[in-house]
């Protein structure tokens, strides 16, 4: 029943996205078979449904545990693939679930910035993405969501009709980099490299790099 509900919801969202946003997907052929991590910019609450209906396969999405506060929604979205992440410390259970899914050949989506942009510009990525890459050795496919900020920016009460594009880049393999970087240095390297690829896809300025964060604060998406 969960699978049926997922694909029915996906079809509904795809139809609505084309009607409201003239949704276009570019570069979907870059998504390889098997386990893969999709890393996208985070500009709007629309990012999860828009990206979900743009992928060729079912995906799980990492997101902060209070993203869906209503108890019924919390249960339903977990069944549909949402992986809630605790914010106060490194959530080994949540990240372990993501790692297990990737090792099992599935798609997992992460927003490296950790939280929605407040001005439409890219933010520096957090090191959580590096933890997953180190544990799985999986390729990372960068993705840029263009137009979701204009359609539903932070603080907006209503969705606006605006063209939206999802652009997928070529997968990035960090296996060679793992020989040169370790621990926090590797996590931050992956984060910076992926955010740079996302910026290239959107033809926007990359975020300003900051000092290496604690691995205990790897993710904070909303």
Q: Enumerate the domain spans of the chain.
A: 2-202
pLDDT tens column, 101-146: 999 999 999 999 988 999 999 999 999 999 999 999 999 999 999 9
Q: Whose CA is closest to 150, among 140, 158, 142?
A: 158
Q: Whose CA is closest to 113, among 52, 29, 32, 47?
A: 47
Token digits for 104?
């099992």
pLDDT tens column, 27-53: 999 999 999 999 999 999 999 999 999
- pTM for this structure? 0.88
Residue 89's pLDDT band, with cuts at 50, 70 and 90, is low
Instruction: Give the model's pLDDT for residue 69.
Output: 56
Instruction: Give the model's pLDDT for residue 216.
Output: 45
pLDDT tens column, 174-216: 999 999 998 999 999 999 999 999 999 999 988 876 544 444 4
Token digits for 26?
């570019």
**88-97, 133-142, 154-163, 175-184: which is most confident:** 133-142
Range list of β-strands (E), 51-156: 59-64, 82-85, 107-110, 140-146
Residue 132 and residue 126 in contact, taking contact as beta carbons nearer than 8 Å: no
Q: Residue 165 to residues 28, 128, 158, 191, 207: CA-CA distances in angstroms?
A: 12, 26, 20, 23, 21
| Residue 120, helix vs strand vs coil | coil
Residue 95 and residue 127 in contact, taking contact as beta carbons nearer than 8 Å: no
Instruction: Give the model's pLDDT for residue 181.
Output: 93
C-alpha dihedral (75, 81, 82, 84), degrees to nearest 10: 80
* CATH architecture observed for domain 2-202: 3-Layer(aba) Sandwich (3.40)
Give long-range contacts, CB 8 A cutoff, 24+ apart: 74-79: 79/2, 79/5
In 44-72, which positions are buried (b, 16+ CB within 10 angstroms) versus exposed (e)? bbbbbbbbbbbbeeebbbbbbbebbeeee
Instruction: Please report, rounded to a whole number, the percentage of residues in the chain having pLDDT higher than 90.
Output: 66
Instruction: Give the model's pLDDT for residue 207.
Output: 86
């Amino acid at each position: 029943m969960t699978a049926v509900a997922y694909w029915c919801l996906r079809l509904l969202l795809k139809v609505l996205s084309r009607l409201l946003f003239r949704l276009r997907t570019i570069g979907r052929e870059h998504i390889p078979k098997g386990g893969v991590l999709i890393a996208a910019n985070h500009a709007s609450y629309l990012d999860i449904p828009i990206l979900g209906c743009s992928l060729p396969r079912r995906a799980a999405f990492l997101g902060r545990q209070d993203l869906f506060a209503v108890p019924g929604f919390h249960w339903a979205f977990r069944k549909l693939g949402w992986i809630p992440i605790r914010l106060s410390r490194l959530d080994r259970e949540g990240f372990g679930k993501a790692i297990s899914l990737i090792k099992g050949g599935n798609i997992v989506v992460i927003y490296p910035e950790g939280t929605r942009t407040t001005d439409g510009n890219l933010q520096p990525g957090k090191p959580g993405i590096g933890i997953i890459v180190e544990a799985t050795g999986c390729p990372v496919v960068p993705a840029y969501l263009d137009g979701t900020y204009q359609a539903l920016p932070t603080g907006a009460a209503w969705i606006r009709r605006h063209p939206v594009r999802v652009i997928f880049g070529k997968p990035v393999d960090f296996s060679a980099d793992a020989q040169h970087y370790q621990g926090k240095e590797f996590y931050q390297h992956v984060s910076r490299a992926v955010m740079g690829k996302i910026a290239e896809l959107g033809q926007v300025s990359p975020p300003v790099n900051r000092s290496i964060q604690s691995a205990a604060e790897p993710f904070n998406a909303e």
